Amino acid sequence: MRHFPAFLDLRGRTVLLLGQGEALEAKAALVRAAGAELREAARFAPELLEGCAAAFAAGAPEEELRALAEAARGRGLPVNVVDRPELCSFIVPAIVDRDPVTVGISTSGAAPVLARLIRQKIEAVLPPGLASLAALAGRCKDAVRRALPETGARRRFLERVLSGPVADLALSGREAEAEAALHRALAEAEATPPGFVHLVGAGPGAPDLLTLRALRILGEADVIVHDRLVPEAVLDLARRDARRIFVGKQRANHCVPQEGINDLLVQLAREGKRVVRLKGGDPFVFGRGGEEAEALAAAGVAHAVVPGITAALACAAAAGIPLTHRDCARALVLATGHTRNGEVGLDFAALARPGHTLAVYMGVHTLARVRDGLLDAGLPATTPAALIENGARPDQRVLAGTLAEVAAQAPGWTRGGPALLLVGEAVARRTAAPDLATAA
C-alpha cells in the first residue's frame, strides 16, 4: 500500500490555495464542500501557512511550488501539488460522495484515469439514498450500543437491518418509517444470540480460488480458527477486527489436539460468536471436518459446511494434468498417505487397479511405502506419476516421471511444502508447459 488512506476533518479550518487555473479551482470546490475556509494566494510566503490545516497548489511558478512543498513538510502540514507527486505529502483520490458516506479511490498516482473509471462503476452501484441510510445508522448508534453492548451481537444486528426492510425504507426516502422499524427490530433483538460455526474450505491457498460464499462468510466472522496451510493472503480477506486463533497442524506435531479444537469451536459458539473454522482445501476431504461437524452436532451447535477446492483438483489443474480421460482414466480415487499409529493402512490391491487416477494426500513422508505397496499389488513401476508441491500457488513445483523415478527423487527434491502425489496413465497427458522449478 503506497499511500495510507485517511479522511481529513476540514470544517471551519483554513486551507491554503496557491496558484491559479482549473486544476486548483477543482481542488477549491472539494475543500469548500468539506467546510474549509480558503486562503488564496498567487505568490508564496511562509507566513501564509500560519493556522492552515493543509495546502494545495497548481499553476504557480516552479520555485513557488517547491518553496511551498518544502515549507509545508517542515511544519508537518499536508501538502498537495497537482500532478507533481514528488512534491506531495498526500494525494487526492477520486471521490464518490454520498455524505456522510464517502468513498475514495486511489491508484497512488499511477493511473488517475483508471481511478475515475472505477469511481464511475461505484457511482452506478451505490444508490443516491445511501446518505439517508447512513444518517439513520448515525442517529441510532447510541441506542443500538446501549441495547447490544456485545460487539458481535451489535454488528450482526446492524448487518441485518442495514440490508433488509429497514434499509429499503431509508433508501426510498421513507426515513421516519425506517427509523421506527429499526427501533422495533432493536426491541426484539437478543443481547447474546446463539453462535454459529462455519467449516470453510480455503482451497489451495490462492485467494482468488476461494468461493464467493467463503469470502462473504469470512467478512462476517467474529473469530477465525485456522490451520497452518491457510496463508496470510486468505486471512487478510476477513474483517480486520476478527479474532484469529491459530491451531496449526504439521505431521506428528499438532499445536492444538483435535479434541481441543472441537471443544474450542463449541465454546466460542456458546459465547454467541460467529465462528469460521478455516481449513486448507475442502473441510470434508482429509480435513477432519467430519469429526468437527460430529462434535458440533453432539453439542447442539448450529453449523454449516462451505466446500473448498480440494488439493487433487487444484494441483492437477495448475499442473495441466487431467484427472480423468476417456482413453485411460474413468475414475478418480482419493487416498491419504498420512499414517495412523505408524501404519499406512491403504488397500493397495484396490488402488493398483488399472483405469483410474490415484491422488495421494500428505504422502511425501510415506512415499516409499506407498510405492512399494502399489508395486507389490501389481502396478507397473513405469506408471506415470507426478508430485506437486505448493500446488496452485506462485511457488508451485512439479516432479514428473514414472512412479519409481518420482519416489526415488522425491526425498532430495522436496522443500517441505504441502505436496500431492498423482499416479496413473492420465498423468502422462499433461499439457502444461514444463515447470522451470522441475529442473531445479
Q: Which are the catalytic amino acids? A: 227, 249
DSSP 432: S
Identify the residue whose cell numbers are 514428473.
400
Measured CA to CA in angstroms, residue 346 lies from 93, 355, 372, 439 at distances of: 59, 18, 12, 31
Identify the residue whose cell numbers are 494434468.
321
Measured CA to CA, the distance from residue 371 to residue 407 in angstroms comes to 7
Which pairs with CB-CB distance under 8 Å and at least 24 residues apart come from 407-412?
407/367, 407/368, 407/370, 407/371, 410/364, 410/367, 411/367
* CA angle, 106 then 110 then 111, to 5°: 75
Is 16 within 8 Å of 54 (Cβ atoms)? Answer: yes
How many CB atoms are closer than 10 A to CB 294? 11
Measured CA to CA, the distance from residue 82 to residue 204 in angstroms comes to 44
Three-class SS of residue 295?
A: helix
* Extended beta strands in 339-402, E state: 357-361, 384-389, 397-402
In three state form, how does the secondary structure of 155-205 look? HHHHHHHCCCHHHHHHHCCCHHHHHHHHHHHHHHCCCCCCCEEEEEECECC
Helix, strand, coil distribution of the chain in percent, nearest 5: 40, 20, 40
* CA angle, 382 then 334 then 397, to 5°: 60
**Listing from the earlier edge strand, what are the strands of the sheet with 397-402?**
332-336, 357-361, 419-423, 384-389, 397-402
Is 114 within 8 Å of 107 (Cβ atoms)? Answer: yes
Measured CA to CA, the distance from residue 247 to residue 53 in angstroms comes to 47
Measured CA to CA, the distance from residue 360 to residue 424 in angstroms comes to 11
Measured CA to CA, the distance from residue 177 to residue 180 in angstroms comes to 5
